[in-house]
Structure 1
């Protein structure tokens, strides 16, 4: 008897008393400007499966959270004056938003009116809104669709700006490093009055090598004369011997000047110059790499920019949605059947005892 009363009351409410609900649906997909090369072809040009579909599903989940967030509710739902458009009335006290509802109650009610469902097979995102009148439901769907487009554009712009700013910062940092290295290298050359320390060291080394080669020739000539003259004090032998001694002294002085801090000190100059020159070359390569990375980042960012493609625009509904009535009524029957089954099972256990 009680179950019959519940079923009858449920039928009266869901098919008689309950206020009409109007659903508005729109569909869109998030795409990249360029389809990956590995994506196959179809009648529409490219298939929706693969990375594009997975990316759209992921973006759909993000949008499902964003479009039901408190920020969006403030900008969109409260703008539609829900206290009037979704207000309760005396005929159906259960449907709609109560007068004087708190912010949390409005947020919970708003989330019950918005459904963002990504389709696993195609990546299409369905946006459904529910209203107690056709126009508010349509306006809510249209505004949420616009909010989704603005969100995608803002995210893309923020990502692009962040990546580009980082790349340009790295280029500027590499350029400053190169300027600093070049200034240090030039100051070092000016201080030591050397245009190219490595070439100067190589020239000095070649000069000493030529003196040593000449010394070898003179020593051979000296030995030959000493064999010819038994008296080594003869003018011929003494002349060559003096040249050998002078050349040896000159070679010793040149070698001492190369490494003596009070002389040319070419070893230190070459070492420090080589270090500064290496730093300048590294800074130059770093600047080239940074410029290349910035160009690649700019191109990659342009290729990865996502945009929202509308597949079905919202329309003002002409007929009410009946699915909620059947779901409510059948849900009530299901609960009664479950309760009846549990009760029968419990009574059976009691009878056995």
Structure 2
């Protein structure tokens, strides 16, 4: 036996390794229970408003939300919450065989996180759009409790993350709406004060009316001037008809000059100046009203979008309370180890024979 070991040390080492790992996988390794859950992340189906406020908000796709949820479930923050609620350090350090347990209950967070990743697996099925959780524990109850905690905390975190931006936008728009409301009230007050001060509801309408009057008077003046030309061809300048027409023409010209003076005179509150100032105030009031209406629409849309950002984890398979241990996979692990060990031993044996042939 000793001679065979001396001649074939690699095969002896392979046999000893297989015996040792057989003892570990079949006798020493402690059972680990796996709790599974399958979930999908959904949002409330709320009808979008008719106006467009997409420039204010940008939403993530479902796949990206699922990836964000997966990363959070595997994060150090999630580990800290789970350790605080379920005392992961005690469970993983006081249970299990020596190679599989957490060696140090006071291990730094980096080592604990590395161990946590070996016991919690979160996979995303891109085709089905679902998230699958597999949590290993040394007792069925602990595995189920940790799985349930991960789902609850993950849903709360996604809601908090999605709502934070929306709430900030809502508060910003509320301040803008309040400011624009005060601005609208001020512009309306300025417009009313201007109307009351000058006793005109709409100087612009008054100017339009005067322009129509002037145009009508000028038309009448043109008709009378044509009549005067016709009378001059067969009547004297002192005839009664000619004198009457001349009088009417003079009166019309005087009236036209008065109306034009009302529209535009060098100094004082002429209607054209009143109209120009009124148009300016009216434009400011209209702009303030349109801006206020747009802000109200954006605010309402943002509130709806905030509700749409709520995330709900819909459970397709609730956290399982395992009835038997599925980890470690004893026969599978032992088989793989035996195959690899025998292959390496065979390679070593071939190399050993080659070396012996060269020596001979």
TM-score (norm 1): 0.76
Work out whether 1:11 is the aligned partner of 2:45.
Answer: no
Which of 178, 187, 192 is the equivalent residue of 1:186?
Answer: 192
Alignment deviations for residues 246-276 of structure 1 (CA, whole Å, 9 cap, x no partner):
5324423432442224145333433343343
SS in 2 for 1:61: helix
Give distance in 2, aligned partners of 1:114 and 1:285: 55
Aligned partner of 1:111 in structure 2 is 117
SS in 2 for 1:14: helix
Which of 40, 48, 55 is the equivalent residue of 1:29?
Answer: 40
Give distance in 2, aligned partners of 1:159 and 1:126: 28
| Partners of 1:85 and 1:133 within 8 A in 2 | no
Work out whether 1:207 is the aligned partner of 2:213.
Answer: yes
Which of 297, 305, 310 is the equivalent residue of 2:315?
Answer: 310
Give distance in 1, aligned partners of 2:341 and 2:200: 100
More off after superposition, 5-14 vs 162-171: 162-171
Aligned partner of 2:327 in structure 1 is 322
| CA pair 289-258 structure 1, distance change in 2 beyond 3 A | same
| CA pair 225-341 structure 1, distance change in 2 beyond 3 A | farther
SS in 1 for 2:134: strand
Aligned partner of 2:181 in structure 1 is 175
| Partners of 2:90 and 2:105 within 8 A in 1 | no
More off after superposition, 197-206 vs 255-264: 255-264
Give distance in 2, aligned partners of 1:183 and 1:35: 39
Give distance in 1, aligned partners of 2:235 and 2:96: 143
SS in 2 for 1:100: coil
Work out whether 1:269 is the aligned partner of 2:274.
Answer: yes
| CA pair 292-345 structure 1, distance change in 2 beyond 3 A | farther
Q: Provide the aligned C-alpha RMSD in A.
A: 3.8
Greater relative CO, 1 or 2 (CA 8 Å, sep 6+): 2
Post-superposition shift, 1:173? 5.0
Query: Which consecutive unaligned segments of at least 5 residues does structure 2 have?
Result: 1-11, 48-60
| CA pair 235-304 structure 1, distance change in 2 beyond 3 A | same
Which of 94, 101, 105 is the equivalent residue of 1:99?
Answer: 105
Work out whether 1:139 is the aligned partner of 2:133.
Answer: no
| Partners of 2:173 and 2:295 within 8 A in 1 | yes
Post-superposition shift, 1:239? 5.9
1:25-104 matches, cutoff 5 A: 25-34=36-45, 55=62, 57-87=63-93, 92-104=98-110
Aligned partner of 1:43 in structure 2 is none
Give distance in 2, aligned partners of 1:90 and 1:290: 61
SS in 1 for 2:326: coil
Aligned partner of 2:260 in structure 1 is 255
| Partners of 1:82 and 1:97 within 8 A in 2 | no
| CA pair 337-233 structure 1, distance change in 2 beyond 3 A | farther
Give distance in 1, aligned partners of 2:254 and 2:297: 56
Post-superposition shift, 1:65? 0.9
Query: Which consecutive unaligned segments of at least 5 residues does structure 1 have?
Result: 37-53
Post-superposition shift, 1:227? 4.4
